[in-house]
C-alpha cells in the first residue's frame, strides 16, 4: 500500500478539469444549445428504423422530437467516442480496463457476467433518461446550468440512488480490502 500511495496519480486535477469542462459546456450553449447525450441513442435508433421500418418511426411520438444521425446530437456522441479514443491512445498512465478491479473482487473475473450486467445497467440508464428527458449531461448538468428544477431534482436523486446501489453491491468488498 505504501508503494501504491506514492504512485503518480494519472488523472487531471479536478479544479482545472472543471474549468475546462465548463468552457466546453458554454461553447456548446453558444454554438448549439443545451448539450445532451442520451438523445444520441435515440438519434441512432431513428436512423436505423428509418431504414428498417419507416412506417414504425412515422407513428412513434418519441422519434419526432429528435433528429436522425445527420445531426449535432449524433455527431456529439460520436465525437465523445472519438475523444475517448484519442484520450485513451495519448495517455500511458490511465488504465484502460473492461473489468473494473472492484467488480472482479465482488463477482469474479468472468467476462460474461460483467458484460451482461453492463448491458442491463445500460438498459436502465437509458430507459430512465428517456423517461426524464435527459441524462447526467442532458438533464443534470445542462439543466442545472440553466437553473432548471428538473436538473437539480434529477441530479440529487441519481447521486443518492447510485451511492446507495454501489454501497449495497460493492460496500462489503470495499471495506474488506483497500481497493485502489
Partner 1 sequence: MTNIWLGLFSGIAFGFVIQRIGATDAHRMARSHLMLDADIPRFMVLAVALSAVGLFGLQSVGVGRLLPLPTSIVATGLAAVIFGIGWGLTGYCPGTTWAAAGEGRMDAVFALLGGLAGAALFAHLHETLIPILYDPTNAGRITLTDLFGNQAVAVAVLATGFGLCTWGIGKLWRHDNDEKNT
Contact 128, 27 (CB under 8 A): no
C-alpha cell at 50: 428509418
Size of the site for partner 1 (CB under 8 A): 129
Computed over its alpha carbons, how large is the radius of gyration of the chain? Answer: 19
Taking the complex as a whole, the smallest distance from the CB of residue 89 to partner 1 amounts, in Å, to: 8
- What letter would DSSP give residue 110? -
- What letter would DSSP give residue 70? S
Which of 52, 108, 115, 176 binds partner 1 (CB under 8 A)? It is: 115
Contact 139, 146 (CB under 8 A): no
C-alpha cell at 27: 461553447
Residues 133-172 that bind partner 1 (CB under 8 A): 133-141, 143-154, 157-171
C-alpha cell at 67: 433528429
- Residue 68 interacts with partner 1 (CB under 8 A)? no
23: helix, strand or coil: helix
Which of 58, 91, 109, 177 binds partner 1 (CB under 8 A)? It is: 91
Residues 5-24 that bind partner 1 (CB under 8 A): 5-15, 17-22, 24
- Residue 82 interacts with partner 1 (CB under 8 A)? yes
Which of 53, 58, 87, 109 binds partner 1 (CB under 8 A)? It is: 87
Q: Which is nearer to partner 1, 54 or 121 (CB)?
A: 121
Amino acid at each position: 500500500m505504501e508503494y501504491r500511495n506514492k504512485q503518480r496519480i494519472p488523472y487531471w486535477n479536478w479544479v482545472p478539469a472543471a474549468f475546462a469542462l465548463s468552457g466546453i459546456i458554454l461553447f456548446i450553449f453558444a454554438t448549439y444549445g443545451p448539450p445532451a447525450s442520451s438523445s444520441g441513442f435515440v438519434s441512432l435508433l431513428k436512423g436505423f428504423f428509418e431504414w428498417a421500418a419507416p412506417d414504425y418511426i412515422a407513428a412513434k411520438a418519441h422519434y419526432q422530437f429528435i433528429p436522425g444521425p445527420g445531426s449535432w446530437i449524433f455527431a456529439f456522441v460520436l465525437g465523445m467516442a472519438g475523444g475517448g479514443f484519442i484520450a485513451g491512445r495519448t495517455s500511458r498512465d490511465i488504465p484502460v480496463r473492461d473489468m473494473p478491479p472492484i467488480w472482479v473482487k465482488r463477482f469474479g473475473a468472468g467476462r460474461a457476467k460483467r458484460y451482461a450486467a453492463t448491458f442491463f445497467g445500460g438498459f436502465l440508464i437509458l430507459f430512465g433518461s428517456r423517461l426524464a428527458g435527459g441524462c447526467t449531461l442532458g438533464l443534470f448538468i445542462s439543466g442545472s446550468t440553466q437553473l432548471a428544477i428538473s436538473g437539480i431534482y434529477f441530479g440529487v436523486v441519481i447521486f443518492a440512488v447510485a451511492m446507495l446501489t454501489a454501497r449495497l453491491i460493492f460496500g462489503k468488498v470495499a471495506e474488506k480490502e483497500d481497493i485502489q
